[in-house]
Chains A and B, each alone.
Chain A
């Protein structure tokens, strides 16, 4: 799809042009063919209602649709169990794959199961669908009606976004995690700094970010309003996908002279561990400026902190701290998926966390959005590896949620207050 006469293109323009069957530029509204449609138990029931209202009878291609029962895992009420039954019944009738309670968070399993490769267009009725941009796809969150329309027609309308070029350069110092880099980027851009726009990741430091770390950065981009957050497909992606898919990625590169809305440079050598203060992810301060804030609940999990490397990093800090949790702290550990859960079972991580006193909960969204799992008590301060800390997010409007890396969360579990993990042990 390269017609030089029409000028250079960004990755977003290339992917959306390829799926629209015509050259599309930033600002155009196009109708695109979708490669993958994601629904969850929080959005699919409403999508099924829309599907019926739209007169839908058959799903265009069941192999391109997947549902994950992740928000109410396990069901927290008879009503939510009913949402699951509705999704299962629809999926059975339409031959759609349902990833049932315990399989994990949609954004994690779509990637783990090799459902996404570079060049794909992925839509999901969940804002954190942007996560899959880590593999070089254009992945974006939409509403339930959009996925209903896509299930019928195989198509979605999209405005082609402008692009912000993000250059990751320099070398991270010890103790600076991908979560810190991602949160700092949200703080720098602000809550709507990337609204309607794609973040395109570039720079000489890209190769130092593992696929798991890239997922965190793409995921958190939506907290700055981004429509997509796209990494290039490279050796890191190839290694991750090996054995997960037979599909051929279509690695897209932005043309050298493509037009960006703006460019920002992230000098990793200057990056520091950070914390997002209540009640917005953009409220970023250096961890050093939040020290000693009392913490009564720690959440290790979610689509920005529930992967194997996250739990390994957290456990290492807990071990350095003497392998115990401070009195009065509740530590909740929720693997992002069953694959993660099994790996952590096999290597002994979960046994160790449980012996230390962590509550291990069902893979899924867990306590992150107050839909299932542990709800904080009145006035409780939570330190969480999640991506969102809005008031009442975890189900209690009087709780205060702070966001940080798995290492910082583990350090707070050891001391009962926000603590520099480097000072533990």
Chain B
């Protein structure tokens, strides 16, 4: 089954850590992702959160989500209406939290993607294509391991556990 996500690229750089995605000081006040989404990436750009539209795709460089393992860094991105992050590479805890929550992490060459480009990611079991409507280029992302696909198809760890798939 082919799945497709299209959205406007929101361009970020390398080593965006989870403290930058959402600061620990905001987390002191609430754990409500919808409220915290107003402060998404405020350390890097205080105007970013207000400019996000549901359906946007986050596009970053290397080592996205490094630092703290805080899962709220993933759920805040989802609460802002972003369904996928494209990056050259992901820090392991962010990648783990992403698939456990159904945020799609796409590992690919993002060097040709600019702010505002319209990006379409198409995936099936064996390959992920990333198309840039502005440049007309199509590149292949790194394939997702079967386990990761299964976790994303399940909708995340909550559903996975409820179905008894982790065992009891």
Contacts and interface: CB of A to CB of B under 8 A. Distances in A.
B166 A125 contact: no
B19 A392 contact: yes
A377 B91 CA distance: 31
Given A145-B158, A195-B89, 9 more contacts: A127-B69, A145-B71, A145-B156, A149-B157, A192-B91, A196-B92, A225-B63, A388-B68, A390-B67
Contacts of A50: 157-158
Interface stretch (B28-36, B50-58, B114-122, B129-137): B28-36
Nearest to A147: B71
B142 interface: no
A31 B167 contact: yes
A395 B27 CA distance: 11
B27 A42 contact: yes
Contacts of A49: 31
Interface in A356-379: 369-371
Contacts of B92: 195-196, 225, 227
A299 B47 CA distance: 32
Given A143-B97, A143-B100, A146-B157, A192 B66 contact: yes
B100 A146 contact: yes
B28 A80 contact: yes
Most B-side CB within 10 Å, residue of A55, A129, A143: A143
Given A31-B167, A149-B166, A46 B20 contact: no
A393 interface: yes
Contact of A153 (B69, B71, B93, B161): B161
Interface of A: 29, 31, 42-43, 45-46, 49-50, 53-55, 71-72, 76-77, 79-80, 83, 125-127, 129, 141-146, 148-149, 152-153, 155, 157, 159, 191-192, 195-196, 225, 227, 280, 369-371, 388, 390-393, 395, 397
A79 B30 CA distance: 7
Contacts of A54: 157-158, 161-162
A148 B31 CA distance: 16
A392 B27 CA distance: 13
B62 to A, nearest CB: 6
A371 B28 contact: yes
Interface residues of B, number: 42
Contact of A155 (B31, B70, B158, B166): B166
A76 B24 contact: no
Contacts of A159: 145, 147
Contacts of B30: 79
A393 B157 CA distance: 29
B97 A29 contact: no
Contacts of B101: 145
Contact of A77 (B28, B31, B97): B28
Contacts of A77: 28-29
B6 interface: no
A149 B161 contact: yes
Contacts of A225: 63, 66, 91-92
A143 B93 contact: yes
A49 B30 CA distance: 14
A254 B117 CA distance: 48
A83 B160 CA distance: 27
B161 A370 contact: no
Given A153-B168, A195-B63, A392-B19, A371 B25 contact: yes
21 contacts: A42-B27, A42-B70, A50-B158, A79-B29, A83-B31, A125-B71, A126-B69, A143-B96, A144-B71, A145-B97, A149-B166, A153-B166, A155-B166, A157-B147, A191-B63, A195-B63, A225-B63, A369-B68, A370-B24, A371-B28, A391-B43
Nearest to A30: B147
Given A192-B91, A225-B92, A142 B69 contact: yes
Given A191-B63, A225-B63, A280-B15, A31 B147 contact: no
Nearest to B27: A42
Interface string B78-102: 0000000000010111001100110
B157 A127 contact: no
Contacts of A127: 67-69, 93
B17 interface: yes
A152 B161 contact: yes
B158 A370 contact: no
A33 B147 CA distance: 18
Contacts of B62: 192
B96 A146 contact: yes
A10 to B, nearest CB: 17
B60 interface: no
A145 B145 CA distance: 20
Contacts of B70: 42-43, 143
A195 B88 CA distance: 13
A191 B27 contact: no
Nearest to B63: A192
8 tightest A-B CB contacts, nearest first: A143-B71, A192-B63, A143-B97, A141-B69, A29-B147, A127-B69, A392-B43, A54-B161
